[in-house]
Amino acid sequence: MELKKSPDGGWGWVIVFVSFLTQFLCYGSPLAVGVLYIEWLDAFGEGKGKTAWVGSLASGVGLLASPVCSLCVSSFGARPVTIFSGFMVAGGLMLSSFAPNIYFLFFSYGIVVGLGCGLLYTATVTITCQYFDSRRGLALGLISTGSSVGLFIYAALQRMLIEFYGLDGCLLIVGALALNILACGSLMRPLQSSNCPLPEKTPLENVPDKYSIYNEKEKNLEENINILDKSYCSEEKCKNIIANGDWKQESLLHKNPTTIAHTKEPETYKKKVAEQTYFCKQLAKRKWQLYKNYCGETLALFKNKVFSALFIAILFFDIGGFPPSLLMEDVARSSNVKEEEFIMPLISIIGIMTAVGKLLLGILADFKWINTLYLYVATLIMMGLALCAIPFAKTYVTLAILSAIVGFLTGNWSIFPYVTTKTVGIEKLAHAYGILMFFAGLGNSLGPPIVGWFYDWTQTYDIAFYFSGFCVLLGGFVLLLAALPLWDTCTKQLPKPAPTTFLYKVASNV
């Protein structure tokens, strides 16, 4: 169906509001999983590395499955996907309250909740982009802050619910709150023209040859019919010969008029089967051609040195930069910080400063005199230094300051699409962004378990955060080196020298 023109307002602001609430409700608990992480450590007695897989899967599975999420939204629409995903998130949270061991949480909280969040993120972004054109940046910025506000509120909310109702009661109540996503999804009215008739399917015979990848329709039809004739005749021969018990009557079968009449009956059926076989072959060839084109475009993207460096940077950034939001509460407990000193949960500080960072960095990216790529590199380098400073923080005040810095710099997610567009161009943005988000999900999934394993090995977070800071710094410096303008100067072709000419004089006879 044909989409109407984006209204840039009107019901679009309702879409922005319900999309904000959707991201608030679905991402609040997974991003504030650090509060639950401490309770799971005490409840199941597993190592920090293994327990960290629960939160890392909840954040990484949605990004890893981003191609599948995009396909679902394109096929079914934002409203059905949002309602279905609301059941997934709420059901996964409620199931987690009955978890007998940590492996059950891998499925209920990590995979079910994580996949539901990925579907909801894709649905909210897609329908917001449909309703806004000239104000699309503002609308996307508003809905993206929903997850950060959710992190800020859910960190304190889950801690309070655990104190009053225990871990199981907390997960049940948070799951019940997630059911409000269903109400938000019901308000996501699709932007489609209701009076537009459905397109009629074009018969195979009326399709012009120029729309076919391989012009071999008639040839394939004849080949398929011949194959069917041979197989059909062979079956009839075998049946009649075996039934009569006389192998010598084989030559009489072709002369029998009843047999000839019988063989003419399935002609129409055989032609239809041949046409369907041809259609399947053409479809398979077309899909194969699209797959080859996709692989070729992917290879072309990685030939861009800045894109290759960006892929390394986002992978290492998520390996090193995501663990603080999950483990900061346990870092404070390991540093012997008393609970009476906690004015505000450290995860809440990270959440609110992430929202501030998204807004301020997004505003800075709009200035023409600021290079967005260098701005992103600066956030990576400062983030790496802040992570390396966490082992030196032994009080609540210093941990709170570092949490605020890390949270603000994590807001560079808002300028990441700008950086990708600047690197590959608007035409290849969707393809490149999908690849980068896949590796971002891989980093989210691997980061917290690696940091947890470092703690299990050394019984301290010092080496773990040195490793995290080194990963982020490495990604930042690789991207900086690839983005330096001197490479463009070196690759410019030098002017070709003028061809050497030789002058010959004819010797005089004088």
Model pLDDT for residues 402-440, shown as the tens digit of each residue? 999 999 998 888 788 778 878 887 677 667 777 787 888
Cα 480 to its chain centre, rounded Å, is 25
pLDDT-wise least confident of 85-89, 130-134, 428-432, 486-490: 486-490
Tokens of 80: 């059905």
User: pLDDT for 443-452, tens place per residue?
Assistant: 888 888 888 8
Average pLDDT over residues 11-32: 90
What pLDDT score does 476 carry?
A: 92
What pLDDT score does 106 carry?
A: 93
User: pLDDT for 135-190, tens place per residue?
Assistant: 766 777 788 888 888 888 998 899 899 999 999 999 999 999 999 999 999 999 88
Average pLDDT over residues 49-69: 84
What whole-number distance in Å separates Cα of residue 5 and Cα of residue 207? 31
- Give yes or no for residue 496 having a pLDDT over 50: no
- Give yes or no for residue 130 having a pLDDT over 90: no
Residue pair 22/75 in contact (Cβ under 8 Å)? The answer is no
User: Domain spanning 296-482: which superfamily?
Assistant: MFS general substrate transporter like domains (1.20.1250.20)
What pLDDT score does 179 carry?
A: 95
What pLDDT score does 5 carry?
A: 63
**74 or 382, higher pLDDT:** 382
Residue pair 396/341 in contact (Cβ under 8 Å)? The answer is yes
Each domain of the chain, given as residue ranges in start order, spans 8-191, 296-482
Is the Cα torsion angle 201, 202, 204, 209 positive or negative in sign?
negative
Cα–Cα nearest to 381, from 440, 446, 320, 328: 320
What pLDDT score does 194 carry?
A: 47
Residue positions counted in the chain? 510
**182 or 52, higher pLDDT:** 182
Residue pair 362/415 in contact (Cβ under 8 Å)? The answer is yes
The most confident of 12-21, 199-208, 261-270, by mean pLDDT: 12-21
pLDDT level of residue 368 (50, 70, 90 thresholds): confident
- Give yes or no for residue 328 having a pLDDT over 90: no
Tokens of 264: 């003419």
Cα–Cα nearest to 220, from 177, 280, 176: 280
Tokens of 230: 């041979």
- Give yes or no for residue 231 having a pLDDT over 70: no
Distances from the Cα of 441 to the Cα of 295, 315, 445, 446, angstroms: 21, 8, 6, 9
User: Please, is 334 exposed, middle or buried when counting C-beta atoms within 10 Å of its C-beta (0-12, 13-18, 19+)?
Assistant: middle
Please check whether the two domains, 8-191 and 296-482, share a CATH topology. Answer: yes
pLDDT level of residue 26 (50, 70, 90 thresholds): very high
Domain 8-191 fold? Growth Hormone; Chain: A; (1.20.1250)
Q: Return all residues near 44 (Cβ < 8 A) that are at least 6 apart.
A: 51, 101, 102
What pLDDT score does 80 carry?
A: 92
- DSSP string of 356-420? HHHHHHHHHHT-TTS-HHHHHHHHHHHHHHHHHHGGG--SHHHHHHHHHHHHHHHGGGGGHHHHH
Is the Cα torsion angle 330, 335, 337, 342 positive or negative in sign?
negative
Cα–Cα nearest to 40, from 319, 320, 318, 329: 329
What pLDDT score does 96 carry?
A: 94
Q: In this structure, what is the dihedral angle of CA atoms 358, 364, 367, 371, given to the nearest 10 degrees?
A: -100
Average pLDDT over residues 446-473: 88
pLDDT level of residue 224 (50, 70, 90 thresholds): low
What's the pTM value of the predicted model, to 2 decimals? 0.67
What pLDDT score does 226 carry?
A: 57
pLDDT-wise least confident of 55-59, 262-266, 381-385: 262-266
Average pLDDT over residues 448-474: 88
- One-letter amino acid for residue 169 of the chain: G
- Give yes or no for residue 463 having a pLDDT over 80: yes
pLDDT level of residue 4 (50, 70, 90 thresholds): low
What pLDDT score does 220 carry?
A: 52
What whole-number distance in Å separates Cα of residue 465 and Cα of residue 390? 7
Cα 257 to its chain centre, rounded Å, is 65
**240 or 369, higher pLDDT:** 369
Average pLDDT over residues 315-343: 81
